[in-house]
Amino acid sequence: MAQFTHIDPHARPTMVDVGDKAITKRTATAETRVRFPAQVAEALRTQGFSTAKGPVFHTAIIAGVMAAKRTHELIPFCHPLGIENCKIAIDMDGDEALIRCTVSVTHKTGVEMEALTGSSVAALTLYDMCKALSHDIVIAQTRLVEKRGGKGDIGG
């Protein structure tokens, strides 16, 4: 039977002890999809992906990296990590933006939550930057697509 890692034998929340884990190179990639109404996507393209608030994708990338670096301050049981790299790419596919956040670290614990946080905050920033054009923007899907290092790899 699967056990939750953040619950102790007395059913209380607890931080995972990573003291005995091996230090390895760990990477994770998460993606979030943002669906824009057609007129918002068209406005973004014709305005060079900029609004009155500034460059939309550049601002979202900066916000996502900042969030990934501070994940431990947002998610209660995440360990503070000295992230070695965080890359965020945003690509338009029709009326949808695909945000991919890849985070890496050499540490005793992985960076899945950092990648998920980075892509999520980048998506929220896209919403904020474009909400003057429409509130019908949908943050559609956030998921972990790849993890390397640690106990086991997934995706890729």
**pLDDT tens per residue, range 27-69:** 999 999 999 999 999 999 998 888 888 999 999 999 999 999 9
State the number of CA atoms in the 13 A half-sphere of 11 facing the CB: 0
Q: Which residues of the chain have pLDDT under 70?
A: 1-2, 17, 19
Residues in the chain: 156
Percent of the chain surpassing pLDDT 90 = 71
Strands, E, within 44-137: which ranges?
A: 50-51, 54-55, 85-93, 96-107
CA 136 distance to own-chain centroid? 22
Q: Which of 8, 20, 93, 128 is catalytic?
A: 128
Catalytic annotation present for 128: yes
In order of 5, 18, 72, 76, 107, the CA distances from 23 in angstroms are 19, 10, 19, 22, 5
Q: pTM, whole model, 2 decimals? A: 0.90
Domain 24-150 listed as CATH 3.30.70.640: yes
